[in-house]
Amino acid sequence: MTSAALQSDQTQLEDIEIALLLEGLYRVYGFDFRDYSPASIKRRILERMRAEKIATVSAYQDCVLHDDACMERLLVGLSVHVTSMFRDPSFYLTFRQKVVPILRTYPTVRIWHAGCSTGEEVYSMAILLQEEGLYRKCVIYATDISREVLRKAREGIFPLAAMQEYTGNYMKAGGKHEFSDYYTAHYDNVIFHPALKTNVVFSEHNLVTDGSFNEFHVILCRNVMIYFNKALQERVHNLIYDSLSMFGVFGLGNKESLKFTPRADFYDKLDSRDKLYRKVR
Amino acid sequence: MAFEIVVVGTSYGGLAALQVVLPALAPDFGLPIVVVQHRGKDTDNLCEFLQRHCALPLAEPNDKEAIAPGRVYLAPRDYHLLVERDGFALSTEAPVGYARPSVNVLFESAADVYQGHVVGVILTGANADGARGLAKIKAYGGLCVVEDPAGAESRGMPQAAIAATKVDAILPLREIAPFLNQLCQHEPGSSYAS
């Protein structure tokens, strides 16, 4: 057998082992990654294995299923998306121009930030709403699957080194003040002002297994469903549709599309470039 | 070995190099070509720019978009681009070797899915991204092409790739597109290399 054929056999074996690991993770702990997009989940599992110094997925499964701490580390590995404040500044600029006027007409506004990861985009939205004079009547429900990620989001502490990039993003996003007004630097980190999270509810929610928990005027789910396969994306699109009030606004990541999803015909585009949609039926 | 996909990685100097390679691709090029060019977060217009130099349709793929032959796909800024059996997948995992998009991430996913049916191409670049991915493509029986470091705008990436694996062809920039065109003309099932 050639070495290339051996490699190919090993990949097939690894794929089987990964399926078994994910099945075990679901049955033992209830976290369901079985319908995640395979390429990226495989990368992350192999990365975790390298960090844990474990050679085979089967050996790793043994560790994950018998050791809660090992499982928790895997969960963080699978759920961290590295984002930035005001990621894709034009999205926030368009939000200011086209969504804020809609929100002004509501007495109260409920926003669901689904898959908020470590919170950078939640604080960005809080800043935007405060500058538009809307923050006091808004509640932002920021959810993620991982407790550890939410703990970080709640802290609101980010590396000082990132602030130069974030300041640029903030300005391009139509920021009205000095970005540094919103945080206090402390050694190599900054802490965002606690006032920004007075109307933020951080909470665990699993898009894969949990249902709708409220009706929202705005739902942001940006660069979260890219980790799901098509079947799971469909489920989440239905969940989001069901959780959105009529004429509510739905925001996706730059390279995500409503096209070919079961709910495509139920929204109007608010903006063609930035992925902002409005539920119309 | 019939090939099913071409993956290309480049960094510093890549824009000029792609302006040489893309226009020289045959208009009936029969495989999908997926390109990672390291790029900053402000490079929104790269796609439009490169399309002007390319007869084949060129686009940044959306998540889960199907991979079609005869098209050039450019990794969007600030995402990793991966290939899967039924289409592209994007990811915002941490940068790999400071890069997002990362050449290694694309190449490794291509080897995983297409096994020996991948052509990996490394062009100019000042770091070592792509070397590990190219070695994986080679390990699975794919074909590895590297721009000759002697003439490259920046030799780092070609040299790292050559050091990491036994590459099949080291070519001056101008010969890379003709080489790919010829590979593409091979009938499915015919054999190029062992």
> What are the pLDDT digits (tens) for B111-152?
999 999 999 999 999 999 999 999 999 999 999 999 999 999
- Same domain, yes or no, for A105 and A73? no
- DSSP conformation letters of chain A: --HHHHHHHHHHHHHHHHHHHHHHHHHHH----TTB-HHHHHHHHHHHHHHHT--SHHHHHHHHHH-HHHHHHHHHHHH-----TTSSHHHHHHIIIIIHHHHTT-SSEEEEEES-TTSHHHHHHHHHHHHTT-GGGEEEEEEES-HHHHHHHHHTEEEGGGHHHHHHHHHHTT--S-GGGGEEEETTEEEE-GGGGTTEEEEE--TTT----S-EEEEE--SSGGGB-HHHHHHHHHHHHHHEEEEEEEE--TT---TTSTTGGGEEEEETTTTEEEE--
Q: Does A84 map to a domain?
A: no
The label of the residue with tokens 């439009």 reads B48
Flag whether A24 is in a domain.
yes
ipTM, 2 dp: 0.92
The model's confidence at residue B55, banded by pLDDT at 50, 70 and 90, is very high
B53 is catalytic: no
Most B-contacting residue of A121, A254, A273 (CB-CB within 10 A), to test interface: A254
Work out the pLDDT band at B190, boundaries 50, 70, 90.
Answer: very low
In a shared domain, residues A64 and A101: no
pLDDT band at B43 (very low <50, low <70, confident <90, very high): confident
Residue A260's pLDDT is: 81
- Is-catalytic flag, B129? yes
User: Residue B72: its pLDDT value, please?
Assistant: 98
Tell whether A194 is covered by a domain.
Answer: yes
Q: Which domains does chain B have, with CATH numbers?
A: 32-173 (3.40.50.180)
Number of domains in chain A: 2
pLDDT bracket for residue B186 (50, 70, 90):
low
Interchain CB distance below 8 Å, B91 and A257: no
Tell me how far apart the alpha carbons of residues B142 and A11 are, in angstroms, rounded to a whole number: 15
Which of A17, A37, A275 to probe the B interface (max B CBs under 10 A)? A37
Please answer yes or no on whether A7 and B62 come within 8 Å at the CB atom. no
Range of the domain at A20: 3-79
- pLDDT value at B100 more than 80: yes
Where among A40, A55, A79 does a domain terminate? A79
What is the nearest CA distance from A216 to chain B, expressed in angstroms? 25
Predicted confidence pLDDT, tens digits, chain A (281 residues): 688 888 888 889 999 999 999 999 999 999 999 999 999 999 999 999 999 999 999 999 999 999 999 999 999 899 878 899 999 999 999 999 999 999 999 999 999 999 999 999 999 999 999 999 999 999 999 999 988 899 999 999 999 999 999 999 999 999 999 999 999 999 999 999 999 999 999 999 999 999 999 999 999 999 999 999 999 999 999 999 999 999 999 999 999 989 888 899 999 999 878 899 999 99
Q: Is A184 on the interface with B (CB under 8 A)?
A: no
Burial class of residue A206 (count of CB atoms within 10 Å of its CB; 0-12, 13-18, 19+): middle
User: Distance between CA atoms of B46 and B35, rounded to whole angstroms?
Assistant: 12
Task: Please tell me whether residues A183 and A269 are part of one structural domain.
Answer: yes
Q: Reply yes or no on whether B38 is catalytic.
A: yes
Cβ-Cβ contacts under 8 Å between A and B: the total is: 85
Q: What is the pLDDT of residues B158-180, one digit of tens each?
A: 999 999 999 999 999 999 999 99
Whether residue A219 lies inside any domain: the answer is: yes
